[in-house]
Amino acid sequence: MIDYAKACPTLPAEWSDWVITEHIGEGSYGVVYRAERKSDPDAVSAIKVIHIPSDKTEELCAANECHNDKALIQSHYKEIADQCIRKIGPLSNIQDCPNVVQIQDYCVKENEDGYQIFIRMEYLQPFREFYYDTVFNEDIVVSIGIDIASALSYCHKQNILHRDIKPDNILVTEDRKFKLGDFGLARETNASLTAASIKGTLSYIAPEVIAGRSYNNRADIYSLGLVLYYLMNHNRAPFLNLDKQLINSEERENAFAQRISGSALPAPADASPEFSDIILRACQFNPDNRYTSVDDMLHDLRLLKKKKYKIKKQKPYAEKSARSWKKIVLAAVAAVSVVLGGGYAAYTKYNIVDHGMCGENASWTVYRDETLVVKGTGSVQQSDEMKDYTSFAKEIIVEDGITEIGKEAFMDFTGVKKVILPNSVKKIRTLAFENCPSMTSIKFPDGLTEIEDSTFAFTGLKEIEIPNTVSTIGEMAFANSDLTRLVLPDSITYLDMSAFCGCEFLESLHFPKDYKTIQAETFMGCEKLHEIEFPENLEIIEGYAFCNCKSLESIVFPDSVIYIGEEAFSGCTSLKNVYLPKNVKIAELAFCKTPWEEARN
């Protein structure tokens, strides 16, 4: 038999009255021992020892990062030790809670290899030991829920999230009271957190934490709900076969993927309808559909204990489209791979994240490299499921066969930087790419004939090459985009009003030679526009067409111009030189607030 008293590191001098008698187990961040006081053998505590570095791998990593500089390595270890001690500080605020494991004392010991942190706490029975020695029923599990929810209630009121609720962190008193311990992951929070890394045990962790999304106290509620689920489901995860004696790794992985995907959890096998209602509310995929606070959950558990709980109408289990689950799985699998060193390979080996239909004969696929590919024939239509990837997708590739980009098809794809369209596309419909601020590049198809209203408004496009097959560009088609230079091909016969308004970075403009009419507000607010090459056959410039183009200094109108509309060039505060044709009609205020107009008057 191992003598754990000898195997354990020497206790600090301050604790010379204590002796380790037994190894209990290993927690998330250290080894736990049973210890007795020499002067009073009836005084028993648990001592957790955190080693810094924790193992040989961490030691080698530190040596590599610090270039084997011993002083620098020790300083690195001290910083880690200080961080651990700072975590213990907030826990002093919850020591009055009867359902939280009490910390009795702690100290730090430095040695030549690093640091050791010793935490002495009350000695309790591990939950796993209690579980195997007890015949479980719903009443016991409800009591567990009440006690742990009470602990969380106290913690959350102190702005502390536990973040690692699982059976191994539940301990049991002699009179069957349940306490929450191992606050190694506990963190103070005054706002919603974003998971930069996985915190907590994967079997019980909330989907939003795995996916790297912001989370709050409802992540703890989810984990507690899942612990209760296991206990009322033959100690098995949702979606596992309860009749099968042995479960293999693939089955566990599939169940894990289903849970974090948003699939509706089946009711736990041994729970009453009332208890199932509470558990499933706590385990809602969408955090907004869970209990608002752990106090609400605690209230329902207490009613259930008194046989007074009544089933409530719940919101639909998964408000998000079921087809969006693979996006969550992607983030989860990436995190799992880091934590488990490449685990869940059955999922990571596939490049496809999600797919679906985006038209009668068109389909979309999102890949792990952040590319969205559209295939098929006919028109690409807006797809609610595809819009789950508006920030994820960085490149859109439409393959040959698609003839039309439909209305709002890729609107609000804020992450997209590049778009490639095939020559088979003839029309780009209204709002197709509106509000894609990261889009800086697009390859237009050679056979394109029409660009409709607001198609590329509010995009990051800087330079575009419009093919010589396009005849019309719709209202606000490129409004408020980042264009710097514009050459309109000779095929253009109609630019609708405001087509390029608000393009504040546009510097130069070249029209088709046979263009006749510039519509109202077409280039209004293009503040850096300083060079315009008007077409030789231009006849009409409508109202506000170049209003507030503040960098224009000189304009030469072709002799063909017969009308300049109201405030067509108003607010062009640098405009000093204007050549006007003899027979042109100028509307009221056409050049108001310009130096040229002021000089004329």
Residue 449: CB atoms within 10 A of its CB come to: 15
SS3 call for 91 = helix
Whole-number Å distance between alpha carbons of 388 and 414 = 11
Contact of 162 with 91, CB cutoff 8 Å: no
Range list for CATH 1.10.510.10 in the chain: 125-328
* Residue 380, pLDDT above cutoff 90: yes
State pLDDT tens for residues 238-271: 999 999 888 887 788 788 888 887 888 999 999 9
Contact of 116 with 49, CB cutoff 8 Å: yes
Burial of 247 (0-12, 13-18, 19+ CB in 10 A): middle
pLDDT, averaged across the chain: 85
Query: Which has the closest alpha carbon to 128: 2, 46, 227?
Result: 227
pLDDT at 281: 96
- Position 349 confidence tier, pLDDT thresholds 50, 70, 90: very low
pLDDT at 170: 94
Whole-number Å distance between alpha carbons of 313 and 114 = 55
Whole-number Å distance between alpha carbons of 182 and 166 = 10
Query: Which has the closest alpha carbon to 164: 177, 146, 176, 151?
Result: 151
CATH code for the structural domain at 483-601: 3.80.10.10
Range list for CATH 3.30.200.20 in the chain: 4-122
pLDDT at 344: 36
Q: Which CATH architecture has domain 125-328?
A: Orthogonal Bundle (1.10)
pLDDT at 27: 58
Say what the pTM is: 0.55
pLDDT at 441: 87
* Residue 31, pLDDT above cutoff 50: yes
- Position 28 confidence tier, pLDDT thresholds 50, 70, 90: low
- 386 DSSP assignment: G
Burial of 171 (0-12, 13-18, 19+ CB in 10 A): buried
Whole-number Å distance between alpha carbons of 356 and 364 = 5
- Position 164 confidence tier, pLDDT thresholds 50, 70, 90: confident
Question: Measured in Å, how far apart are the chain's first and last C-alpha atoms?
Answer: 107
- Percent of the chain at pLDDT > 90 equals 54
Place of tokens 């004696």: 245
Place of tokens 């942190």: 117
Any residues with CB less than 8 A from the CB of 120 and at least 6 apart, and which? 15, 18, 35, 45, 46, 47, 103, 104, 105, 106
* Residue 9, pLDDT above cutoff 80: no
SS3 call for 370 = coil
SS3 call for 39 = coil
Q: Detail the DSSP E strand segments found in 446-572.
A: 450-451, 472-473, 485-487, 494-495, 508-510, 517-518, 531-533, 540-541, 554-556, 563-564
State pLDDT tens for residues 487-496: 899 999 999 9
HSE at residue 273, side-chain half, CA atoms within 13 A, is 5
- Position 342 confidence tier, pLDDT thresholds 50, 70, 90: very low
* Residue 283, pLDDT above cutoff 80: yes
Contact of 542 with 565, CB cutoff 8 Å: yes
Residue 250 phi, psi (nearest 5):
-65, -40
* Residue 195, pLDDT above cutoff 80: no
pLDDT at 378: 94
Place of tokens 């408000």: 319
Query: Mean pLDDT throughout 273-291?
Result: 95
State pLDDT tens for residues 547-571: 999 999 999 999 999 999 999 999 9
In this predicted model, which residue has the larger pLDDT, 182 or 270?
Answer: 270
pLDDT at 405: 96
Query: Which has the closest alpha carbon to 7: 27, 26, 22?
Result: 22
Whole-number Å distance between alpha carbons of 465 and 488 = 8
CATH code for the structural domain at 4-122: 3.30.200.20
State pLDDT tens for residues 133-150: 888 899 999 999 999 999
